[in-house]
Structure 1
Amino acid sequence: MKETTEEKLKVLHRLGKLDQDSFDFLTDVDDYFLKNYYSNDNEMLLIHLSVAINRMFENKKVDEMPDELWQQVSGKPEYKVARSVWNDLKSKSPVEFTEGETKYILLHVLNILRRNQND
């Protein structure tokens, strides 16, 4: 995990916005991408996950993703891989994410996979 990302997550942890189980989950997610996709720039996904976890604990909802954007995301060739990756990871999550959160998470996962193809 990049040092700056780790510091941001530690701040959220100190502020009580991220409990230890959630912090450990984010570390596991980062390790997964580093090990399986050689990606060490996962900050957007990790920060989104930390905010999403907090929303789930507080029973708050994320704004719905516009249908047009979702069609673009779900229409990408890497979408099935992104869905599979997320299915592997979400079982370790300290919360169950709503479908709305899942769509944004999949967007971030997809971006990591696509970026990795171009490196």
Structure 2
Amino acid sequence: MKGFSIGIIGAGQAATELLQQLVAAEFVYIVAIADLKTDAPGIELAKTHKIPTTTKINDILKLGEAIDIIIDVTGVCEVRNQLRQYMSETNNTHTVIMHERLSALMISLAKGALVEMKGSDETY
């Protein structure tokens, strides 16, 4: 395995902390990050690293199997459902959707303390 190509959905504070860890890893390639807020902290950080940004989830989803992992950091059930539906409709069996609970775990491990995320207690 040469590395991981990653798309990130959500660019708030939690996503920004995760993005800081990901850009530091030479084996991670961030394909794009999406958020409805063009001034979200993760969008600003992505721009400093020349990572493509968008306000549309579909801009990331349409990249299909070019993405290994889509990290959902939104905590929004509708977003999670949209991601699942798109993967099913396009028969994309390559890309893995990483649930926001796993994102919270990764960020918490990196910080050495529990990080609370919006919606992370919702059922999968």
TM over 0.5: no
State the structure with bigger RCO (CA 8 A, min sep 6), 1 or 2: 1
Q: Which has the higher helix share?
A: 1
State the TM-score, normalized to the length of structure 1: 0.31
Q: Which has the higher strand share?
A: 2
